[in-house]
Structure 1
Amino acid sequence: MSMLSLLCWQLPGFGDRSYQIAGMCVTSVGRVIFCLLTDSLSLVVFWNAAFLAFTFVYVQFADAYRAGDCGSYAQDFPIMRWECCLLIVIVSVFWYMSASLRFHVRKQVTAMISNNELVATRTILSTICDAIVELDSDLMIAEEAPGLAALLLHGGGRSLKGTQLGTLLATEEDHERFLAHLRREVTGTSLATVFHVQMRDSIGNRLSLESFHVSYVGLDAKCWHLIGLREHGDACQKGDAGLPGVASPIGEANNSYDSNDSAQSYESQQQQQAAAPDLVVFDPLTLEVLGAARNSEQLALGASRNSEQLASIDWFSKKVFTEFLPQSERQAFLKMFTDLSNEILNSYNGYPISVDVDVIFEVPTSTLSGTTKLHCRCRLLFQTKDDCKTTGIAVSLGDRHSDENQILVY
């Protein structure tokens, strides 16, 4: 309706050339203003094109009315050129403003969603961690971090904002380990990394901490880091896991039993040692393979058919335990392992707990296909080591319904 009113503006001065030019200027300004009242590009293009057609007809009949002939095209040309340029400018500006508005709205919505996800992540971390620290792209603490200040006995009122987190670590080795984990490339499907560091509190005591780390893109389009910290006591280091055989971790777990259970623990230890001659170690949180007991260059697992096939796996060629599984089975294994771990650890009482499950391994073959799937009955073992909670797997690698051989993974 607004555009129609502008069209009618021209009619009273049909035979007056000066009134015609003045009307064109007024309607040009009005067209720009009315374009701001709609969000439809198609309407803007339609009505401005209609106005251009009306203007062409209008000036033709106006000149014919004044001169009594077909009109003067030489006089019409500047007006039509102005109208064509104005049409292009109005449509271009409207398209740019609409695209810019959509971009900023989408950006704000994305930022709001990301902020909500960050708040949810912080809420989850706060239930299991003593302190949560957000690091910017320069690895400096981006917020006040009162939880970390209280954890290090600096007092809850002290602000650690702007502090390099690396300066709070106890040793240079901790600093290097810390930087190595933060610089590790993380993909969208990667698990959050977990590592152990030591920090010094305000009175110089060393504090062993377990760190949960995840990276994300910050507001400056650079990599930021969210780290959850909790006390780890006299935590066992990954590299300290002994690999001479199964007796070591099982024996250490059995040492935590009461004296009344010592005979039963010793008998269980001997049975497990006889059934599990080899050892594969991986981190239960990141599933990173840490080591294995070598027999020649590969794992020797006995004489059963399945064991001979599993012995062909080079347990030192992978970095993550799930790489021993077929691609199609990895997600199911991760879900099963995570759900089972959470269920057991929430009610953990310090004693080893075992659960039998089925696991499918991918083993090499001599055929052109390269690999084959092997179904095995596995025993998930949850135990303690050096007074710190950990999870583990005792993998029975015999036939599907037997327990002939085992690999202990803790």
Structure 2
Amino acid sequence: MTTLNDFSRCVAQYDPHALPVKAAQAIVRQWAAPVAAVERVALRDALDRVLAADIVSPIDVPSHDNSAMDGYAFQSAALASGIATVALAIVGKALAGHPYEGGVETTQCVRVMTGACMPTGCDTVVPQELVERNAECTSIRFAARAVAPGANRRLAGEDLARGHAALRAGRVMRASDLGLLASLGIGEVNVRRRLRVAFFSTGDELRSLGEPLDPGSVYDSNRYTLFAMLRRLNVDTLDLGVVRDEPAALEAALRSAAASADVVLTSGGVSVGEADFTKQLLQTFGDVAFWSLAMRPGRPLAFGRVWSGERPGLGLPALFFGLPGNPVAVMVTFYQIVREVLLLMSGATPQPLPVIRATSRQAIRKRAGRTEFQRGVAVQSEPGEWHVTPTGSQSSGVLSSMSEANCFIVLDHDEGEIAEGQQVAIMPFDGLI
């Protein structure tokens, strides 16, 4: 059996003690196998689900040539060369859902409303505001130069042609996609089974909400941020609560999580403290690719696999992410390392997170040799001109800085000190958190 550790050693820049972020992303991406199970759901239940197969249009959209605006439909032959003014007799009216059934000669036109079928033989529409009608409203006149042949007509299949792919497999269904499929008469779709993610926090000092705080104890916030971030990805979650710093309890929690989930997330317990037992346990029934990243915040991060059995290869497997214990580090590592893997395993085709350039309004301390994700507040002074200011303390334990910020300031592995006025990369939270 190929181990993650063996595979990881073949990745460029591999360093088990300080793995560069891009190398870590490359490693975890290789082990993100999509769930195989497929479900058929009603269209109303498909929002945020991942399409399991291409959707091919069974019809043309629109299904007929139609008018793009209110006006008068006629044959473009009426725009003969050298004619300054076109005069046409009105022979009928067409409304959306109520087509004109008669014939139309070159010297005639039909009053049409937006969306109405183009009368047989007509290929051009002159907008109503460009015409003059006679007193009896039986004829119109307009300047020939006011409209080009074929203008203001939408062709059948112009939006989507029969037999063409409307949506591709791997798409996360959005509101507009539901409307598109409804326009095709499609009421059910095949989607991937939701990914199952189990998570828990570790630490004797942690208390759940509603419990009293003893001296030295703190409320567990990480499970709530993890729950919220996972919910945004529309995965099925299994909250296993707080697990104490005791090997037997931790082993039972890991085995139970592996037996019921595709991915296991823990927070805390992956550093080098005396009470951090995760590493020694995973050496027994797990397989680990790396333990530490050249990243701030989020240096202690473990990635590997765990099995529900007594040793690797026995029982059910699950990918494992051991996230740091500090609250900000949990969020940063989730978005930079875990998020894409969960999307890939859900069967989705992830899009790169948006990164824009901004001018730093103050100097930023940075040491080359690690990637940093600082919290910042970005503002747009003029169209296309962004400025960003760090939120103050960048301690990985100051969760309030995440609430105050609206972006990550992304400082690459090889970057050093940032001067005031220097351009930096920022990753907006909007649409992410």
TM-score when normalising by structure 2: 0.24
Q: Larger relative contact order (C-alpha < 8 A, sep ≥ 6)?
A: 2
Say which structure is richer in strand: 2
Q: Which is higher, the Rg of structure 1 or of structure 2?
A: 1
Say which structure is richer in helix: 1
TM-score when normalising by structure 1: 0.25
